[in-house]
Amino acid sequence: MKYPLVVVIGTVLGCKTAAPPSAPQLPERTAPPEFLSSPHSAALGLPFSEAVRAGGLLFLSGQIGNVPGTRTLVLGGIGPESRQVMDNIKATLALHGAALDDVIKCTVFLADMSEWPAFNEIYASYFSKHFPARSALGANGLALGARIEVECIAYVAAAP
Q: Can you give the pLDDT at residue 8? A: 44
Cα separation, 106 vs 148, in Å, equals: 13
On the CB side of 101, CA atoms within 13 Å amount to 2
Q: Can you give the pLDDT at residue 69? A: 82
Q: Can you give the pLDDT at residue 15? A: 53
The sign of the dihedral angle between the CA atoms of 46, 52, 81, 39 is positive
Q: What is the pLDDT of residues 90-131, one digit of tens each?
A: 999 999 999 999 999 999 999 999 999 999 999 999 998 899
Among the four given CATH numbers 2.60.120.10, 1.10.10.10, 3.30.1330.40, 3.30.1360.120, the one describing domain 24-155 = 3.30.1330.40
Q: Can you give the pLDDT at residue 38? A: 67
Q: Can you give the pLDDT at residue 5? A: 44
Under-50 pLDDT residues of the chain: 1, 3-12
Distances (CA, A) of 92 to 25, 31, 76, 133, 136: 33, 22, 23, 19, 21
